Amino acid sequence: MSESLEARVRRLEEIEAIKRLKYKYCYAVDAYNVDEILETFDDNAEADYGPLGQYKGKQEIRRFFAEIIPKTLPFFVHMVHNGSIDVQGDEATGVWYFDVPAIHAGLDKAVWIAGRYDERYRKIDGKWKFTVMKCTFFYVSPYDKGWKEDRGL
């Protein structure tokens, strides 16, 4: 039996809501708006940013975005694409690629960053939230050399 039109529309609306969650996260991160970033996470969320560390719960995630990110990446612009979202009731999974031109304070230079987000979401009180965010970096390369000469990992 095929899915009803109503069920298909509802699933598409949920996918669109998750896309808006992702965009809100990216815009808030780029603006260093920690309070808005935290609105996108469940209270018990887990965030794994690879070489930048793993964080559990909103307090640790807050510390990451308030203390570590501004010192490490004083400028960046997220561009996410190729999002793939699978909704199963009030839970969902998603995968996104990202490209981020940035300034890396530790290297004192402009860099290219690329990678993938693997995410889990849960609908809580009618709103989607991140429950797990895993960031896998493909490269963090100096702007002047590019990822062919220096993947930076």
* pLDDT, tens digit, 9 for 90 and up, residues 69-123: 999 999 999 999 999 999 999 999 999 999 999 999 988 899 999 999 999 999 9
Strand partners of residue 102: 76, 111
CATH number of 5-149: 3.10.450.50
Using pLDDT thresholds of 50, 70 and 90, give the confidence band for residue 1: low
Whole-prediction pTM: 0.93
Output the average pLDDT for the chain.
94
Where b means 16+ CB within 10 Å and e means fewer, 39-51 reads ebbbeebbbebee
Q: What average pLDDT does range 12-36 have in this prediction? A: 97
1 DSSP assignment: -
Cβ-in-10-Å burial (0-12, 13-18, 19+) of 133 comes to buried
Start-to-end C-alpha separation, the chain: 49
**Distance between CA atoms of residues 150 and 139, nearest Å:** 8
- Domain chopping of the chain, boundaries: 5-149
**Distance between CA atoms of residues 8 and 132, nearest Å:** 25
